[in-house]
Amino acid sequence: MTTNVARYQRIARYYDLLDTGFERRRYRPLRPLLFAGLSGALLDAGIGTGRNCEFYPSTATVSGIDSSPAMLAIARERCPVLAASGGLYQMDVTDLQFPPASFDGAVASFLFCVLPEHQQIPALRELGRVVKPGGIIRLMEYVRPRGVFRRLLSHIWQPWIAWAYGASFDRDTERHIPAAGLELIDSRYVVDDLMKLVTVRVMA
């Protein structure tokens, strides 16, 4: 069975090309929402090829993690300041090698829709462990649409995104937030009924 690390090692050199249209029309305008109101020490979990880098707050010191060395290699080129500071790490989000309460906040863009079901709660718990009590974790993820037409399209797309990215529209990360010991603050659609921005707080 192909692991997600193997998938991203395979697809890394083509990842930005495959995502060009979506990035320009859909993702780029939304990325600043991930960082709204955040500052201090931040974790970019699943940094991928570094598309979030240009939107990091000027008041933040960011660390980025990804499980794929090939994706991190591209992020190092796209995020030279972060790379120069030694802030990029090969790391699994379910086993973060940071002390508790290392960060004031964390973000993850399109990470949890890739994580299989059994990793959802462990990953949320790890983010909650490394973010300080009261800190914010913000997630941007695809979900299964409710509308008939988009729901049908998502089923047509599902085999491709599962093969290429290991992703699914059915992860339903939001449902796991209470079990991970986190508090749901806000959940809203940012692209029709297809993408959500979810904000949670780490409880004391």
- Summarize pLDDT for 71-129 with one digit per residue, the tens: 999 999 999 999 999 999 999 999 999 999 999 999 999 999 999 999 999 999 999 99
| Tens of pLDDT, residues 4-50 | 899 999 999 999 998 898 899 999 999 999 999 999 999 999 999 99
Contact assessment for residue 110 and residue 142, using Cβ atoms and an 8 Å cutoff? yes
Alpha carbons 11 and 68: distance in angstroms, whole number: 10
Other residues' Cβ atoms within 10 Å of the Cβ of residue 200:
26
Beta strand extents in 69-162 (DSSP E only): 88-90, 103-109, 131-142
Task: Report helix, strand or coil for 16.
Answer: helix
pLDDT at 1 over 80: no
The CATH architecture assigned to 4-202 reads: 3-Layer(aba) Sandwich (3.40)
User: What is the mean predicted confidence (pLDDT) over 124-147?
Assistant: 96
pTM: 0.94
- What does the pLDDT read at residue 2? 66
